[in-house]
Structure 1
Amino acid sequence: MADHDAIICGAGVAGLALARTLLRQGRRVLVLDKQPGTRDVHKGELIQPRSLQILDALGVLERLRRQGAIEAHRLCCRTADNDEIASLDYRPLPEPFNHCLVHYYASIQEALLTDIPITFGARAEELLFDHNRVTGVRLAGGEELRAPLVAACDGHSSRLRAQAGFDASRHTYGHRLVGYDLAAPGLGTDIVAYLTDAGLRLLFAMPGGRARLYAQIDPGEHRAIGRAGLTEWTRRMTAAVPALEPLAEPLLDSAADARVMSAWRFNTPRWVRPGLALLGDAAHCVHPMAGQGMNAAIADAWALGERLADLDAFTPDAVDLALNRYEETRRPRVDYVARLSHNLAGLFTDTSWKGRVVARRMLRRNRHNHRLQHIITYNMSGLGVRRFTRRDRFIQLGLIRDSRSHVLPEVTCDF
């Protein structure tokens, strides 16, 4: 007999958003997480408009606003001297979700956690099977729990994904990111990507008068300097970007606690098998620019919840049919987000001479084309997908002119 309707393994935003979605449907849900509690991590600070819609529907958006989440209306690309090259403006998107919110990942987790049955410090050690179907999990201490649905939300190194027989071939980018948490009151609300000769420098304000900076570093250079050399590297990095000089002192103060992260991408060939679904980083991972990974995880949870909402009861056959529909409808959108994130990452992180020249020329050439910028913003927002035509590509490359560059296309939410 099933102990629950769904066992959700992992208390990241994917697992918690799915739990809240199913609980609102009256399902019996249990969340397991191997960590002793929520942790402060450097990721997932940017909540895109579609995620705002979902969090509002789940009853947690106002809580985040009360906790000091910052509204951001523009993503700007600037030179190292702070000259604006291009920008993406969220304000023309459909109201009321025509902006992003910035908050700490742990705060987003805690907002989702309210009233959710969860067991911290419990690791799902092994999947349980009945023939080919997943029927539950065995915990590290030996306890067995059963449910018609097991959701693997246990991150990019997912133990359950491997046990289910899914291979995730990971592509590692040729750079790492140094993440700083620094004091920076009065920074402003623009999210700024500085395009420098040494790669990306991404800066944005955080609640409480603080800020996050993600600075690209070559893996070889990082190995050479080690953690002990990060303070001196930070000094040189700041001096090379005049726009960051006002933050030189707080950046140096935060260098000892800076976190160095690898960047990679993958998309597991299958996300479901009978009784099991992969969500979030367990299913797919993208370059961490603009928080697309966390936002895709929230959308995964909502998409799976929608497929399960139609079920009168969580019978194995009904659940398996819903899982297949979840993957069929959700995967095309994730595929597009993955390509978009990869292309943007290449544009901003390519440090070759040719790459830097092409990126600057393309961005400057299209800085006044509000139509194309609006399409990119819409696609990043998660509200839907508007694909570029061949003519749009020619315009981006500067091969033809765009007579409609100031005409914003009419867009609505596709959901």
Structure 2
Amino acid sequence: MTTSNGHASKSQQATQRRIEYHEADIVIVGAGILGCALAVALGRQGRSVLLLESSMKEPDRIVGELLQPGGVQALEQLGLQDCLDEIDAIQVKGYYVSYHGDPVQLEYPKATPSSPAPLGKAFHHGRFVMKLREAALDCPNVTVVETTATALVTSSTNPSQVLGVECITNDLKDCYFAQLTVVADGYASKFRKTHHPYTPKRRSKFWGLEMIDAQLPSPCYGHVLLSDCPPVLMYQIGTHETRILIDIPDNLPAASVKNGGVKGYMKNTVLPSLPEATQPAFAAALEKGNLRSMPNSFLPPSTNKTPGMMILGDALNMRHPLTGGGMTVALNDVCVIRELLSPEAVPDLGNTTLVLKQLARFHWARKNSSSVINILAQALYSLFAADDVNLRALQRGCFRYFQIGAVDGPVGLLAGLIKQPLVLFSHFFTVAFLSIWVLFRDTPLTHLILFPFRSIMVFWTACVVIFPYIFAELRS
């Protein structure tokens, strides 16, 4: 009885500290997917958590709508699987890839022949976020505050030491303090520039529309449509709603103002390339408007080295959303952080030396999962948005690889189920050599004298595609 009362008293004191004095063990900036999941994970370990969010209204985004099976598994590990309930989420069984109208269907691989098929989930992003926020609000050790973070609070004696966050609440300046401040404020982070050595690089944007009652070639599959144009993605996010994302590289001539801009490109180029049954729903969505875009950025991760602070989520690491791996990376990161910063591993989060040591371990511990998804997303985008003859040769080889049934490894990597970078490396270069064989087979006899040069260029292009991203992952 004494122990129970002692725990209750301690919890009440922590709640009072959060509400009255704005003090906690951890302050998290951003109540998105990662911020909410981390708040609940650490709160359930007994940590006192302040979760700050500028707007508690339901977000409305065109990405973060497909959770791969690896992400579903991470959500289950965190005890948050019920956040997928009652949001009209759609089961995803794998991919439907169409290459110039020639389709192949790729199933998520089973762990064993007798095990159930793994499933992803697709949904409206905002509905999922609101369920995660409900979980955070229901956690006794978490206090959620609607406020806008404006600056980091640092120590007067040690300016590199972060003590908390300065905010604006109802037009009044405010501060929240913690032993550890977590920055999880997304792709447009306010605090990345001064605490992250790398800058996001953008090659294109995804332009999105919501189609109503669209007829897809393979319901319950994520659709990737490949042609001579940049890739197009389609996946159902509700009973009646289907998301279509059109990748438009910066300065694409077909989307220039003189050619009718983005809408002209969609009407003249994208619409005729879609499956015939899908075209009416796309035309109706295009006519209705509500066209929105999101930048497709790449940001390599970096070790968190600022005392008292940790950067996570898209503020830390981004990859092209082509493979839908962002939420899977985020949730797996929460699983890793939960173990490395547990009360058993770090009894006192004020022990800055130990916390920084654990964050250095985190940078490498997350690699098996995150590096596979990061590298694969960037490499596949280079192939799927091929803009020269060598990349197109690799694109043909990749599709041929799918056609011959070599899918369990690649799809397992895409799904976040296989967390082995060497498996990715071996499959990628198998595709490269297959591409060279396909090129040889399709080369006329009169051009065979040039084949050795072409084959070297294709292999060199494969190296140029993948090695920069491998090196980016190996940096600290």
Q: Give the structure-1-normalised TM-score.
A: 0.85
CA distance in 2, matches of 1:121, 1:57: 30
Question: Separation in 2 of the partners of 1:285 and 1:376?
Answer: 20
1:209-232 Cα deviation digits (max 9, x unpaired): 110111122433487339985444
- Does 1:170 pair with 2:200? yes
SS of the residue 1:139 aligns to: strand
TM-aligned CA deviation for residue 324 of structure 1: 2.7
Question: What is aligned with 2:268?
Answer: 236
Query: 1:367–1:136: structure 2 CA closer, same or farther, 3 Å change rule?
Result: same
Contact 1:50 1:382 in 2 (8 A): yes
The residue number in structure 2 matching 1:376 is: 410
What is the distance in 1 between the residues matched to 2:179 and 2:191?
A: 16
**Equivalent of 2:151, from 125, 134, 149?**
125
Per the alignment, in what secondary structure is the counterpart of residue 197 of structure 2?
coil
Which of the pair is proportionally richer in helix? 2
Separation of aligned partners in 1, 2:58 and 2:425: 46
State the 1:105 CA deviation.
1.3
Are 1:36 and 1:121, in contact at CA under 8 Å, matched by a contact in 2? no
Q: Is the 8 A contact 1:150 1:277 kept in 2?
A: yes
CA RMSD of aligned residues (A): 2.8
SS at match of 2:151: strand
- Letter of the 1:260 counterpart: S
TM-score by length of 2: 0.75
Post-superposition offset of 1:15: 0.8
Deviation at 1:275, TM superposition (A): 1.2
Match status 1:320 vs 2:356: yes
Deviation at 1:146, TM superposition (A): 1.1
The offset of 1:239, in angstroms, is: 4.1
Partner of 2:70: 50
Q: Among 317, 336, 350, which residue is 2:386 paired with?
A: 350
1:307 equivalenced with 2:325 (yes/no): no
**Structure 1: which 5+ runs fail to align?**
402-415
Structure 1 position 182 matched with structure 2 position 211:
yes
Instruction: Tell me the secondary structure at the aligned position of residue 26 of structure 1.
Output: coil
Q: Show CA shifts across 1:263-291 (max 9, x none).
A: 22011433342211111111011001122
Of 350-359 and 108-117, the range deviating more from structure 2: 350-359
CA distance in 1, matches of 2:426, 2:35: 41
Q: State the match for 1:21 in structure 2.
A: 41
CA drift at 1:61: 1.9
CA contact (8 A) 2:64 2:327 kept: yes
2:12 match:
none
Any idea what the Cα deviations from partners look like across 1:142-196, whole Å, max 9, x if unmatched? 32221111111011232222343x23222221x3322111102553111111111
- Amino acid aligned to 2:338: G
Which residue pairs with 1:68 in the alignment? 88
Flag the structure with more relative contact order, 1 or 2, with Cα contacts below 8 A and sequence separation at least 6. 1
Q: Which amino acid is the alignment partner of residue 294 of structure 2?
A: M
Following superposition, the deviation at residue 98 of structure 1 comes to 1.0
Unaligned runs of 5+ in 2: 1-20, 137-142, 439-476
Paired with 2:335 and 2:425, the residues of 1 have a C-alpha distance of: 32
SS in 2 for 1:5: strand
The 1:50/1:109 distance shift into structure 2, 3 A limit, reads: same
- Taking a change above 3 Å as real, the CA distance of residues 248 and 377 of structure 1, as seen in their structure-2 partners, is closer
Are 2:164 and 2:176, in contact at CA under 8 Å, matched by a contact in 1?
A: yes
The answer on 1:253 being equivalent to 2:260 is no
Seen in structure 2, the aligned counterparts of structure 1 residues 171 and 163 have a Cα distance that, compared at 3 Å, is closer
**How far, CA to CA, are the matches of 2:191 and 2:32 in structure 1?**
15
Worse-superposed segment, 304-313 or 70-79: 304-313
- 3-state SS, counterpart of residue 60 of structure 2: coil
Q: Which residue of 2 aligns with 1:203?
A: 234
> What is the alpha-carbon distance in structure 1 between the residues aligned to residue 60 and residue 89 of structure 2?
16
Whole-Å separation in 2 of the counterparts to 1:72 and 1:337: 18
Deviation at 1:56, TM superposition (A): 2.0
Residues in 2 aligned to 1:23 and 1:226: alpha-carbon distance in whole angstroms:
55
Q: Identical aligned pairs, as a percentage? A: 21
Structure 1: 4+ residue segments shifted above 6 A: none
Residue aligned with 2:325, SS: helix
1:314 partner letter? L
> For residues 245-302 of structure 1, what are the alpha-carbon distances to aligned partners after superposition, in whole Å with 9 as ceiling and x for unaligned?
3233322332211112322201143334221111111101100112212221222222
The whole-number CA distance in structure 2 between the counterparts of 1:227 and 1:62 is 47
